[in-house]
A and B are shown apart, each in its own frame.
Chain A
């Protein structure tokens, strides 16, 4: 009898241990999945300050309305989200409200995160519960009147926020839908790649149509127009290369997009990256090229372009090639490069002035960099060389003026 009982107990003990181990695996799985999804959402870009602890917040976010400070999302019970439930977290992601119902400023991309599924929200929450808690009080925002009144957010929400999880399009493939889910949801690509109006909002019909990023003075090109960053005539491999490594045969990422690849996209697996590529390629709308028009008088343009060729041959051709062919992927081609040709000349001017490195990624750990020419070229020379690369080798951009070049000398660098 006694021995039977012990056998039973032993068996029970063994069963319990196995069950616990299984639970632990499950927890491990969900935490790992949450970490992956937190990467896809690029939470760290805002919620980790430079030299700060992971997800302890405190990063300053300059906006046209004042400076916001990001919040501590570590599991510290007093200063972080340690007392939150998974429901609270989902409500924040899905509806842009704190657990007590308070309104969140839309710098937090809840207009995109609302598309995230409950299961994915729970996984991210499980991951955030697993990281070391950091006791660090949130710094109050410094917004100008009247923007310091959170009730104004209600108006913003009425205009620009529509709540709702992602609904797959049954007419499209599972891959396309996965890409759409990532791009429109966690990826919150529309936050930069859609035009932002004076109210800091963007309308659904303008999604992914491109726009100047407020405060940063970089132009986030349209993802739908092939005259900008539309990827309609890119191969899937070139798109996935760009997203995963930061460099591709067609061009490299720079400016704010370097941050996105560095902190987020390089960590996505091959299947998700390809899904995003398929979706992004799919949303491009080939548009007939508008007739080239320039604000500059023809004589001034031709003078600029002829000076531009001299500047180019002396300073640029050794890497980018005499015909703008480059040595891709590391030295990007400038001929047939949408980033050079597009309507806004902000980015090519800034690249000439500031230079830049693509991000160091797993796939490209030691990127080649472009030297800054702000100290070497005059406004006129910058305008000339940018006018030249925008119009040479069949490129269909327009010339730019020395004034435009001069204005961007004071653009913020970080």
Chain B
């Protein structure tokens, strides 16, 4: 009995301890009750509760869902997310379910939504095994990391960052997205159904890509593992190779 010989003086004895503990418990319960009385009949006054309409497609914290066509939002630069919300609201970026949800929401609210998802950092998913051949992946890697100067195609990393984590405030990271989503977006840029503020840099880039390029780049990007620090780098960390309306210098 190691402890038996040690005299541990109790600060409070028996009944008194019980009485004080009970009083404290009652006080705490009363405080909780009072707070609950104010909010019991109201939804939580939080952004999480306000963006519940986003979660069936984008996940509770913007981590994405099993549907490969719905993108991860979490951790992307707030400026990028805000631009997308504005573009969906005005109909410039077309996806009727999004256009419909945002149509009558004011700018400051869209900004708050963008900030909310930008500040969430659920872990990046494990990359899924790729369905394309090694050669195609190698072609994707080549284009993403070095581009193709002969065809006027800049490397993805020249704007989206060496770690592909994006740059504040307007350039999105490309990690945690599935190949079908990336491929669909590049396709939309190529065909001009997705556009952005002029100079519309992504449309210029995607205009030089072939369908095979798109498949290869999308496949390779989707295989990238999570980096140690997935946060977008600060504004001005590197210079963009050409002008981009979404990221004014």
Mark A residues whose CB is within 8 Å of B.
50-51, 258-259, 261-262, 319, 327-328, 330-331, 354-360, 365-376, 412-414
Whether B101 and A357, one on each chain, are in contact in the complex, defined by CB atoms closer than 8 angstroms, is: yes
* B128 CB, min distance to chain A CBs, angstroms: 20
Whether B109 and A371, one on each chain, are in contact in the complex, defined by CB atoms closer than 8 angstroms, is: no
Q: Does B149 sit within 8 A of A, measured CB to CB?
A: no
CA distance A253 to B104 in the complex (A): 11
Question: Mostly helix, strand, loop or mixed at chain A's interface?
Answer: loop
CA distance A355 to B112 in the complex (A): 20
Whether A414 and B53, one on each chain, are in contact in the complex, defined by CB atoms closer than 8 angstroms, is: no
Whether B90 and A51, one on each chain, are in contact in the complex, defined by CB atoms closer than 8 angstroms, is: yes
Which residues on A sit within 8 Å (CB–CB) of B42? 327, 330
Which residues on A sit within 8 Å (CB–CB) of B67? 375
Chain B 25-57 interface mask (CB, 8 Å, partner A; 1/0): 000000000000000011100000111111111
Which residues on A sit within 8 Å (CB–CB) of B92? 50-51
* A173 CB, min distance to chain B CBs, angstroms: 33
Which residues on A sit within 8 Å (CB–CB) of B109? 360, 365-367
Which residues on B sit within 8 Å (CB–CB) of A370? 53
Q: Does B108 sit within 8 A of A, measured CB to CB?
A: yes
Show 27 A/B contacts (Cβ-Cβ < 8 Å), sorted by A: A51-B92, A258-B103, A262-B104, A331-B43, A355-B101, A356-B101, A357-B101, A357-B102, A358-B104, A360-B109, A365-B108, A366-B112, A367-B50, A368-B43, A369-B53, A369-B101, A370-B53, A371-B54, A371-B55, A371-B56, A372-B57, A374-B97, A375-B56, A412-B96, A413-B100, A414-B99, A414-B103
Q: Report the interface size class on chain B.
A: 20 to 34
Chain B 95-123 interface mask (CB, 8 Å, partner A; 1/0): 01101111111101100100000000000
Which residues on A sit within 8 Å (CB–CB) of B127? none
CA distance A259 to B50 in the complex (A): 20
Mark B residues whose CB is within 8 Å of A.
41-43, 49-57, 67, 90-92, 96-97, 99-106, 108-109, 112
Which residues on A sit within 8 Å (CB–CB) of B103? 258-259, 414
Which residues on A sit within 8 Å (CB–CB) of B41? 327-328
Whether B104 and A258, one on each chain, are in contact in the complex, defined by CB atoms closer than 8 angstroms, is: yes
Which residues on B sit within 8 Å (CB–CB) of A327? 41-43
CA distance A366 to B112 in the complex (A): 9
Given A365-B108, A413-B100; 19 other pairs, CB 8 A cutoff: A258-B103, A259-B103, A261-B104, A327-B42, A356-B100, A357-B101, A357-B102, A357-B104, A357-B105, A359-B104, A366-B109, A368-B50, A369-B53, A369-B54, A371-B55, A371-B56, A372-B56, A375-B57, A413-B97
Smallest Cβ-Cβ distance to A331: which chain B residue: B43
Contact of A376 among B43, B56, B97 (CB under 8 A): B56
Question: Mostly helix, strand, loop or mixed at chain B's interface?
Answer: helix
Whether A371 and B112, one on each chain, are in contact in the complex, defined by CB atoms closer than 8 angstroms, is: no
CA distance A371 to B100 in the complex (A): 12
Which residues on A sit within 8 Å (CB–CB) of B56? 371-373, 375-376
* A370 CB, min distance to chain B CBs, angstroms: 6
Whether A413 and B104, one on each chain, are in contact in the complex, defined by CB atoms closer than 8 angstroms, is: no
CA distance A371 to B57 in the complex (A): 9
CA distance A414 to B88 in the complex (A): 11
Whether A50 and B96, one on each chain, are in contact in the complex, defined by CB atoms closer than 8 angstroms, is: no
Smallest Cβ-Cβ distance to A356: which chain B residue: B101
Whether A414 and B100, one on each chain, are in contact in the complex, defined by CB atoms closer than 8 angstroms, is: yes
Whether B100 and A368, one on each chain, are in contact in the complex, defined by CB atoms closer than 8 angstroms, is: no
CA distance A53 to B67 in the complex (A): 38
CA distance A355 to B104 in the complex (A): 14
Whether A365 and B106, one on each chain, are in contact in the complex, defined by CB atoms closer than 8 angstroms, is: yes
Which residues on A sit within 8 Å (CB–CB) of B90? 50-51
* B193 CB, min distance to chain A CBs, angstroms: 16
Which residues on B sit within 8 Å (CB–CB) of A367? 50, 105, 109
Which residues on B sit within 8 Å (CB–CB) of A375? 56-57, 67
Smallest Cβ-Cβ distance to B103: which chain A residue: A414
* B228 CB, min distance to chain A CBs, angstroms: 34
CA distance A259 to B103 in the complex (A): 8
CA distance A45 to B229 in the complex (A): 46
Whether B97 and A372, one on each chain, are in contact in the complex, defined by CB atoms closer than 8 angstroms, is: yes
Q: Which of B90, B101, B104 has the most CB of A within 10 A?
A: B104
Whether B104 and A371, one on each chain, are in contact in the complex, defined by CB atoms closer than 8 angstroms, is: no
Smallest Cβ-Cβ distance to B113: which chain A residue: A366
Which residues on B sit within 8 Å (CB–CB) of A376? 56
Smallest Cβ-Cβ distance to A262: which chain B residue: B104
* A33 CB, min distance to chain B CBs, angstroms: 25
Which residues on A sit within 8 Å (CB–CB) of B55? 371
Whether A369 and B50, one on each chain, are in contact in the complex, defined by CB atoms closer than 8 angstroms, is: yes
Known A360-B106, A375-B57; contact A369-B51, beta-carbon cutoff 8 A: yes
Smallest Cβ-Cβ distance to B39: which chain A residue: A327
Smallest Cβ-Cβ distance to B49: which chain A residue: A368
Whether A372 and B105, one on each chain, are in contact in the complex, defined by CB atoms closer than 8 angstroms, is: no
* B185 CB, min distance to chain A CBs, angstroms: 19
Whether A354 and B104, one on each chain, are in contact in the complex, defined by CB atoms closer than 8 angstroms, is: no
Smallest Cβ-Cβ distance to B86: which chain A residue: A51
CA distance A27 to B112 in the complex (A): 39
